[in-house]
Amino acid sequence: MRTHLAPVTAEPTAADLAAIDMEWPLIAAELDVLDAEITMLYAEDHGGPTVLDWRRLRRAEAGVTRAAAELADRTAGPRRAA
């Protein structure tokens, strides 16, 4: 039995696009980690990952941490002085 789905006609709003734009550095950093992990998986078939493969993965993971921290700082709003 097939169910009928309503067609999606709504376009992203300006607010949706702005939110994606704000989060894009984190998304890009996560894609860098994924790319490094894929490289590591392929390297297993060719003698194992090299020192540079491991360095690339660590740098990509550090980039995610930095991007997440920057995003958290931007979305947290102004901080009050204690």
What type of residue is 71? L
Read off the pLDDT of each residue in 16-35 and give the average, rounded to a whole number.
Answer: 96
What type of residue is 13? T
Q: Look at residues 43, 61, 62 and name the one whose alpha carbon lies nearest to residue 53.
A: 43
Average pLDDT, the chain: 90
pTM: 0.75
Token pair 């894009």 is found at 24
Q: Could you tell me the two tokens for 15? A: 């607010």
Q: What is the pLDDT of residues 41-64, one digit of tens each?
A: 999 899 999 999 999 999 999 999
pLDDT of 7: 72
pLDDT of 75: 86
